């Protein structure tokens, strides 16, 4: 399994929300609004952390991993444990993981990070570097020994 790729960290956004809360521009009820579904996912599929809740400071946060992808079909949007992710990454081509932190005490919740997992690599599966570069459909000199031009797959967004 390849490691996670296209990682997006939301810690700066979290700090901004907490700064707004401490300044009084945002109320506690605006940031402590975890849905019952999120709280149940945290109870049954979440992973406890050693990090204290930034709002109530009485309970540790729980991380919930949600998965999304075309190959998942009806399973898209489900919460999974972190232990299940490597097995899914070996069987599926590509899927997104969203990590949400939840406090079961005060209902604080925030998106922590998102990343891609799966068998597909960033360069169309060519791990040995044998993929040749093409420009406008023609072979770039010195790019490879195969005379047939190949197109690169564009990064998905």
Q: What is the pLDDT of residue 35?
A: 95
Q: What is the pLDDT of residue 122?
A: 53
Report the share of the chain in percent with pLDDT over 90: 55
Q: Residue 137 above 80 pLDDT?
A: no
Task: For the full predicted model, state whether its pTM sits above 0.75.
Answer: no
pLDDT tens string 100-112: 999 999 999 999 9
Q: Residue 38's pLDDT band (boundaries 50, 70, 90)? A: very high
pLDDT tens string 87-96: 888 988 889 9
Q: Which residue has the higher pLDDT, 149 or 27?
A: 27
Q: Where are the domains of the chain?
A: 5-117
Give the burial string for 103-114 (b: 16+ CB within 10 Å, else e): bbebbbbbebbb
Report the share of the chain in percent with pLDDT over 70: 74
DSSP 53-116: PTTT-SSEEEEEEEEE-GGGGGGTT-EE-GGGHHHHHHHSS-EEEEEEEE-TTT--EEEEEEEE
Q: Which residue has the higher pLDDT, 128 or 103?
A: 103
Tell me which of 22-36, 37-51, 93-107, 115-129 is least confident. Answer: 115-129
Spatial neighbors of 30 by CB under 8 A, at least 6 apart, are none
């Amino acid at each position: 399994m390849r490691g996670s790729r296209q990682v997006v960290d939301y810690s700066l956004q979290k700090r901004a929300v907490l700064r707004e809360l401490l300044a009084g521009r945002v109320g506690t009820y605006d940031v402590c609004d975890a849905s019952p579904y999120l709280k149940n996912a945290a109870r049954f599929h979440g992973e406890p952390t050693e990090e204290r809740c930034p709002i109530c400071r009485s309970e540790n946060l729980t991380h919930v991993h949600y998965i999304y992808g075309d190959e998942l079909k009806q399973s898209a949007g489900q919460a999974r444990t972190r232990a299940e992710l490597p097995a899914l990454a070996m069987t599926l081509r590509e899927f997104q993981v969203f990590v949400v932190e939840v406090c079961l005490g005060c209902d604080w919740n925030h998106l922590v990070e998102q990343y891609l997992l799966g068998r597909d690599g960033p360069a169309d599966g060519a791990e040995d570097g044998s993929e040749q570069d093409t420009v406008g459909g023609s072979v770039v000199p010195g790019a490879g020994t195969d005379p047939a031009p190949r197109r690169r797959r564009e990064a998905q967004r």
